[in-house]
Chain A
Amino acid sequence: MNFFEMVRFAVRGLVANRLRSALTTLGILIGVGSVIILVAVGNGSSKQIQDNIAKLGTNTITVMRGGGGFGARAQSRNTQGKPLTVGDAVQLSDKKSAPNVKQAAPVSNATSVCTNGSSSTTPASFIGTWPSYFEAKNTKVVKGTYFTNDDVTEGRRVAVIGKTTASDLFGEENPIGKVMRCGGIPFTIVGLTETAGSNGFLDGDSLIISPITAVQRALTGYGNISSIVVQAKSAKVQDQAQIEIESILDRSHGISNVNSRDYRLLNQASLLATTTSTTKVFTVLLGAVAAISLLVGGIGITNIMLVTVVERTREIGIRKAIGARRRAILGQFLIEATILSLVGGVLGVIVGFIGSNFMIVGVKPVIVPSSVFLAFGVSVFIGLFFGGYPASRAASLRPIEALRYE
């Protein structure tokens, strides 16, 4: 019996047991497809988080008040040290002493309830700053305009607001040119920022950005500022920029011992590294879930293959009685298992690819090629092994034993 003949027999065997063939194929399909989609979702969400962080601007460094660390000493440093001032931001913007810094912007955080008639909102962040903040933080205005350095100098009460703030105060209306009152003081809205989404803790669109002078005069007073946002010329020179910032601030804050600094630096690159390792854990977790589903799928395939062979032991006996050799029977069952596994596997990959085109719980899945090969390989191997092994056992039974099998 040649190979072609065996393939014909296998196909005939599969067609004769349509329902079972279809169910086996479906089992493999679901196993492979779910692993591909699950891993793609894990990968996609980790990509999404990385993109979000990159959106914050990867070459920005934030200068915050207070030294690093915890405990009494750190706390005393935090309160005793010199606060950050607008003057520090001016110094950091100096092209001569900080050549690798592109721009710096002071940030003054205000807390205020803003109203428009009967509508009111408390923005998650109310920031007084300079126009350079927008570029440093990668915040874009999609409607209206940015405020200008002139607005800062003049202390004009203008504001760029986020989508949530806009809808809280003005609903569906266009907020540009409208006036809102924050702490009783009127601010004219000039721009609307691009949707930032939530970072999990804060709504990035519940946002007001105004000239620092206006915020200080109206709300916070002319004292200390919360932080300074510094943008390095490129991600490459970020380390040099950081050294320049440190030397400028050490000088102006009169610090000789680096351990007693009264400020600290937070850069996006280190934040990215932290979150990358976090999302890696996430991906590993999803991978584990995928591995379990592959295992369960594999057991399903094993089960059906075993049942198939056991159920057909009698048929194997009949075939042997009418002159089938071991090789012919084994060949038929192996080819049947191969066809089922391959068809199921290929369909599973197709379903995985199609499924990955849809948003799943707000995540755009990104397929990991290795998961495709792994899922496909494992299920095909399981199909072949557990289709082939019991078939080989049944094929070596004496015909009378196989015939008596019920």
Chain B
Amino acid sequence: MVAAVAAVAAVAAVAVVDNAPIIDLHNVVKQYGAGESAIFALDGVSLSIYPGEYVAIMGASGSGKSTLMNVIGALDIPTSGEYYLDGIDMASLDENQLAIVRGRKIGFIFQSFNLIPRTSALANVELPLAYQGIKMKERRLRALKALDLVGLSDRLTHEPTELSGGQQQRVAVARALVTKPALLLADEPTGALDSKSTADLLDLFDLVNAAGRTVVLITHEADVAARAKRIIRMRDGKIIEDTAKVLA
């Protein structure tokens, strides 16, 4: 475990120590439809998350937590409000710049793993580096390291269908970490996993966070949220509760 922690620290050399928030949302609104039938998936959300935090966002389905995650991850664009990611005004970026930000600053983990089908674990992990234009040799090296970190060194050539759900999600974690992102975003990462895989994955998140990386995860399971240091509850597109745990 000590070796693993050291490895995480090596992969995750995040050098953010100042007090500027990594995620800064001001009165963000996401509206679907218009007029009478308008639905507010996000109804004026303001939120600041600082580097190194471990945040769980909870809420019933339809509470707007997934929309919030999509906005934070720059996968979706809010209807109004301001969003600064690591100090960058996201509204000022075009398509391409958003893609670059997603590639460099954010690591995504999805409930349904979202690995590229019929492509080996190694190739899947190399992919984000390839899109950043990193040379093949370095790419290979970093991908091997990331897969080693999640404990899948012996599954490099396996395709997603040849891996268990837990293994697939660990490949996804390796893919998310390989770019050394400032922020790890996980949308119901344990939703499709058994309890053993869930525990393994959460241990991995703890390591990542311990190495100084910001982790935001969305879940509706209380025991998963309990691992986080700060819990945000949502209902009807609004934050209704925001509690930071006192560290033991």
Decide yes or no: A321 and B114 within 8 Å by CB, A12-B119, A399-B75, A400-B75 being known contacts.
Answer: yes
Decide yes or no: A323 and B75 within 8 Å by CB, A17-B118, A315-B117, A318-B116 being known contacts.
Answer: no
Residue pairs across A and B with Cβ atoms less than 8 A apart, 16 shown, are A12-B119, A16-B116, A16-B119, A315-B117, A318-B114, A320-B99, A321-B108, A322-B128, A323-B100, A323-B102, A324-B103, A324-B131, A325-B95, A326-B95, A399-B102, A400-B75
In angstroms, Cα B132 to Cα A322, docked, is 10
Q: Are A323 and B118 in contact (CB under 8 A)?
A: no
15 more A-B residue pairs beyond the given contacts A321-B114, A323-B179, with a C-beta to C-beta distance below 8 A: A1-B130, A2-B133, A12-B119, A16-B118, A314-B114, A322-B128, A323-B102, A323-B103, A323-B131, A324-B99, A324-B103, A326-B96, A396-B95, A398-B76, A400-B75
In angstroms, Cα B130 to Cα A2, docked, is 10
Residues of A within 8 A of B118 (CB): 16-17
Q: Are A323 and B99 in contact (CB under 8 A)?
A: yes
Decide yes or no: A403 and B114 within 8 Å by CB, A321-B73, A322-B131 being known contacts.
Answer: yes
Tell whether B70 is near chain A: CB-to-CB under 8 Å.
yes
In angstroms, Cα B130 to Cα A5, docked, is 8
Residues of B within 8 A of A399 (CB): 75-76, 102
Tell whether A9 is near chain B: CB-to-CB under 8 Å.
yes
Decide yes or no: A398 and B175 within 8 Å by CB, A1-B133, A319-B116, A323-B103 being known contacts.
Answer: no
Cβ-neighbour of A322 out of B70, B103, B123, B133 (below 8 A) = B103
Tell whether B77 is near chain A: CB-to-CB under 8 Å.
yes
| Interface membership of chain A positions 126-143, coded 1 if the CB is closer than 8 angstroms to chain B and 0 otherwise | 000000000000000000
Tell whether B47 is near chain A: CB-to-CB under 8 Å.
no
Give the dominant DSSP class at A's interface.
Answer: helix
Residues of B within 8 A of A9 (CB): 130
Q: With CB as the reference atom, state the residue of chain A lying closest to B135.
A: A5
Q: With CB as the reference atom, state the residue of chain B lying closest to A312.
A: B117
Tell whether B127 is near chain A: CB-to-CB under 8 Å.
yes
Q: Separation in Å of the A97 CB from the closest CB of chain B?
A: 88
Tell whether B230 is near chain A: CB-to-CB under 8 Å.
no
Q: Are B127 and A319 in contact (CB under 8 A)?
A: yes
In angstroms, Cα B98 to Cα A87, docked, is 101
Tell whether A382 is near chain B: CB-to-CB under 8 Å.
no
Task: Please give the number of chain B residues whose Cβ is less than 8 angstroms from any Cβ of chain A in the complex.
Answer: 29
Tell whether B104 is near chain A: CB-to-CB under 8 Å.
yes
Residues of B within 8 A of A396 (CB): 95
Query: Which chain B residues have a beta carbon within 8 Å of chain A's beta carbons?
Result: 70, 73, 75-77, 95-96, 99-100, 102-104, 108, 110, 114-119, 123, 127-128, 130-133, 175, 179
Cβ-neighbour of A1 out of B77, B96, B131 (below 8 A) = B131
Cβ-Cβ contact count across A and B, 8 Å cutoff: 73
Q: How extensive is the interface on chain A, given as a class?
A: 20 to 34
Residues of B within 8 A of A321 (CB): 73, 75, 102, 108, 114
| Interface membership of chain A positions 365-396, coded 1 if the CB is closer than 8 angstroms to chain B and 0 otherwise | 00000000000000000000000000000001
Residues of B within 8 A of A327 (CB): 96
Q: With CB as the reference atom, state the residue of chain B lying closest to A324.
A: B131
Tell whether A36 is near chain B: CB-to-CB under 8 Å.
no
Residues of A within 8 A of B179 (CB): 322-323
A9, A16, A314, A396 pick with most chain B CB within 10 angstroms: A16
Cβ-neighbour of B96 out of A2, A17, A325, A403 (below 8 A) = A325
Q: Are B75 and A398 in contact (CB under 8 A)?
A: yes
A1, A12, A318 pick with most chain B CB within 10 angstroms: A318
| Interface membership of chain A positions 306-332, coded 1 if the CB is closer than 8 angstroms to chain B and 0 otherwise | 000000001101111111111110000
Q: Are A400 and B76 in contact (CB under 8 A)?
A: yes
Q: Are A16 and B117 in contact (CB under 8 A)?
A: yes
In angstroms, Cα B104 to Cα A320, docked, is 12
In angstroms, Cα B103 to Cα A398, docked, is 15
Residues of B within 8 A of A400 (CB): 70, 75-76
Q: With CB as the reference atom, state the residue of chain A lying closest to B178.
A: A322
Q: Are B130 and A398 in contact (CB under 8 A)?
A: no
Q: With CB as the reference atom, state the residue of chain B lying closest to A17.
A: B118
A317, A322, A324, A400 pick with most chain B CB within 10 angstroms: A322
In angstroms, Cα B131 to Cα A16, docked, is 19
Q: Are A322 and B127 in contact (CB under 8 A)?
A: yes
In angstroms, Cα B75 to Cα A320, docked, is 9
Q: Are A403 and B75 in contact (CB under 8 A)?
A: yes
Q: With CB as the reference atom, state the residue of chain B lying closest to A328.
A: B131
Cβ-neighbour of A323 out of B77, B95, B114, B128 (below 8 A) = B128
In angstroms, Cα B182 to Cα A227, docked, is 102
Q: With CB as the reference atom, state the residue of chain B lying closest to A326.
A: B95
Q: Are B75 and A322 in contact (CB under 8 A)?
A: no
Residues of B within 8 A of A323 (CB): 99-100, 102-104, 128, 131-132, 179
Q: Which 9 A-B pairs have the closest CB atoms?
A: A323-B103, A16-B118, A322-B128, A400-B75, A400-B76, A399-B75, A325-B99, A323-B131, A324-B131
Q: Separation in Å of the A369 CB from the closest CB of chain B?
A: 40
Q: Separation in Å of the B56 CB from the closest CB of chain A?
A: 21
| Interface membership of chain A positions 336-374, coded 1 if the CB is closer than 8 angstroms to chain B and 0 otherwise | 000000000000000000000000000000000000000
Residues of B within 8 A of A322 (CB): 102-103, 108, 127-128, 131, 175, 179
Residues of A within 8 A of B117 (CB): 16, 315
Q: Separation in Å of the A318 CB from the closest CB of chain B?
A: 5
Q: Are A398 and B100 in contact (CB under 8 A)?
A: no
In angstroms, Cα B73 to Cα A403, docked, is 13
Q: Separation in Å of the A50 CB from the closest CB of chain B?
A: 55
Residues of A within 8 A of B76 (CB): 398-400
Q: Are B128 and A398 in contact (CB under 8 A)?
A: no
